[in-house]
Amino acid sequence: MYKKNLEHYKYFVWSVIFFLLFSLSVYAQDKTREVVLITEVSESYVITEYDIALRTDMEKNRIIMKAGCKIYNQGDKPLQTLDFDLFAWEQKYAVTVEVITISRLLNGQLVPVSFTHQAIPRPDDLSQEGTNQYPRIIRVELDDPLGKGQEVWLQFDYIIQHVDPKKTDIHYRIIAELPNETKEICLITDFSWIPHVTWDYEKVSALSVKNFFPKMSKPAWKISLDHPASHKSMVVDGKLEKEMKKGNRIISLWSSCTGGLPQLMIGDSDLIEIKDKDTSVVFLLPKEGYDPPTVEAMGHFLIKA
């Protein structure tokens, strides 16, 4: 019966396929024009390298950060003002960011620079700062302009505070309290937990709804994680260089394996490594609720892939 029905409808099916292919080609051409609008936005300066130190404070639901970054002026003009996105949409992610200091490396010394951290322009109602409509921008003013082809090293010292790790009705929880009352941290590239060069937010917002995103630079990075010894950590696309225990804390040092931005997870979890000759796959999984044979099978599947 199935074969007969398929034979009966094959011409109809092929007609539908051709129609869809034609429609998709037209759709793709239209969308390509939209992608070009955002991916070919000229960045006058880019971040080429990060050196990050992250320390967790699970009791106070906060993350203490130092993020050094190398900025390169690839534009045609000297730059005195640099704008950065550091959780610009704070309210979307239910966090607040306290920028303690920003410093510039000059002659081997870190020298504080002047900066502001606010929406530009500012809303009449200041409670709207950090919303999608009024993202908060870090604006750094350099004493000496950054010339064409020149680099500058800036270090950002700041604290990311989560409003309430128990809330589930928000876009994303960077710190989540689980049903067993343990907490985990998950930082991904979907949001700017380290400084990013700012974009045209209105344009990015409009295109992100259609799953189009800016074409970003691919910096190298190093990152150190400092967290309770009871927790495990993982940095995606990172190489573990060293791990040491200091009292009741673990400090691990990671470096980038591929170009891109770091993503990481820290939690009271099991670290499962599946090996096959020179390749291994590492899973960070909740201590309960997973099937070890399934995890092993999935690990071998990923190794072969």
Domain containing 284: what range?
268-305
Q: What does the pLDDT read at residue 201?
A: 57
Distance CA 20, CA 286 (A): 43
Please provide the average confidence, as pLDDT, over all residues in the chain: 83
H or E element that contains 17: helix 2-39
254: β partners: 223, 240
* Class of residue 150 by CB neighbours under 10 A (exposed 0-12, middle 13-18, buried 19+): middle
Task: Give a yes or no: residue 136 inside a domain.
Answer: yes
In a domain, 94, yes or no: yes
**Is 214 within a domain?**
yes
194 and 292: one domain? Answer: no
Q: Are residues 247 and 275 in the same domain?
A: no
Q: Say whether pLDDT at 7 is over 90.
A: no
Q: Residues 135-149: what's their mean pLDDT?
A: 95
Co-location of 11 and 69 in the same domain? no
Together in a domain, 209 and 297: no
Residues 95 and 216 in one domain: yes
The distance of Cα 3 from the centroid of its chain, to the nearest Å, equals 50
114 and 226 co-located in one domain: yes
Lowest mean pLDDT among 46-55, 103-112, 124-133, 202-211: 202-211
Q: How confident is the model at residue 3 (pLDDT cuts 50, 70, 90)?
A: very low
Give pLDDT, residue 212.
59
47 with 34, same domain?
no
Whether residue 170 lies inside any domain: the answer is: no
Q: How many residues does the chain have?
A: 305
Helix (H, G, I), strand (E, B) or coil at 71: strand
Q: What's the token pair of residue 208?
A: 């992100």
In a domain, 155, yes or no: yes
Query: What is the C-alpha separation between 263 and 189, in angstroms, rounded?
Result: 6
Distance, in Å, from the CA atom of 71 to the CA atom of 104, rounded to the nearest integer, reads 11
Same-domain pairing of 115 and 198: yes
Number of domains in the chain: 3
Q: Are 96 and 221 within one domain?
A: yes
